Structure 1
């Protein structure tokens, strides 16, 4: 395999990973979800759904903002009843951010919206091509350079 394929994939990933690309997608997904759920708080909800309870400091790395940024976003989500804070059993000074049942329902809705958006964008692909892409993308994320 030549290096051109690697460069082509790197260029495509660069577009996908741009903060503006993610923010635009998050805006579309969160439209009409309520005041607390927007492109700024979406990454916190999504990360908590993927990882389970985490401290703001631990979540900061996954979300791409500092601890105080996560804390501000978490406060909005807590006020809306989508997350709660619980004492960290391993550190009495810290708290864990935990999705509430309502938060899990919101995340399920957001994931359904994302899946619908992706499915719609792939609807013009030839039969079987989207399935092949999904299979290869899963393999790439499991075995590729990000492991």
Structure 2
């Protein structure tokens, strides 16, 4: 495939963007796991195990984030009628507002950075980026990384 240099630029720039995004989320008072959980629960109530899988974090990170978000009044637990031991996480009104505030702030920051872009350029870039990320997600779900093995460093500890 031609364009190897361009492909490398895409890879490098996506990595840089991810680093910048991680720093911005880490600076949030909520932290990355809690913000991720707010975003998931905003779509529909989510079980802790599904949240851990989607966010690719250990279950104890979700437990901690749920406790913090509940203490802040941003989420609540909704029991499962079929299984009294399990629950889903649902946003409260305050949680919906906190998520909306975060999104508004982030959108304002991005808008400020894109002021010299033509609206068509933004729309085109958004579509292309979505297409690329969808392809990356599909590949990750079926590619070699999907069949993960145990971490060899942790195996030595056992």
Gaps of 5+ in 2: 139-158
Match of 2:40 in 1: 47
As a proportion of its length, which structure holds more helix? 2
Cα RMSD, aligned residues only: 2.3
TM-score by length of 2: 0.72
Gaps of 5+ in 1: 31-36
Change (3 A) 1:60 1:27: same
Map 1:87-102 to 2 at 5 A: 87-102=79-94
Instruction: Give yes or no for the alignment of 1:62 onto 2:54.
Output: yes
Map 1:1-147 to 2 at 5 A: 2=2, 3-18=4-19, 21-27=20-26, 30=28, 37-40=29-32, 41-50=34-43, 52-125=44-117, 128-142=120-134, 144-147=135-138
Q: Deviations over 1:61-96 (max 9, x none)?
A: 222321111111110110111100111244332111
Give the number of the structure whose alpha-carbon radius of gyration is greater: 2
Match of 1:34 in 2: none
Change (3 A) 1:22 1:47: farther
Give the Cα separation in 1 of the matches to 2:119 and 2:18: 27
Equivalent residue pairs, number: 136
Give the Cα separation in 1 of the matches to 2:89 and 2:25: 21
Deviation at 1:27, TM superposition (A): 4.5
Give 3-state SS (helix, strand or coil) of 1:38's partner.
Answer: coil
**Does the CA-based 8 Å contact 1:57-1:66 persist in structure 2?**
no
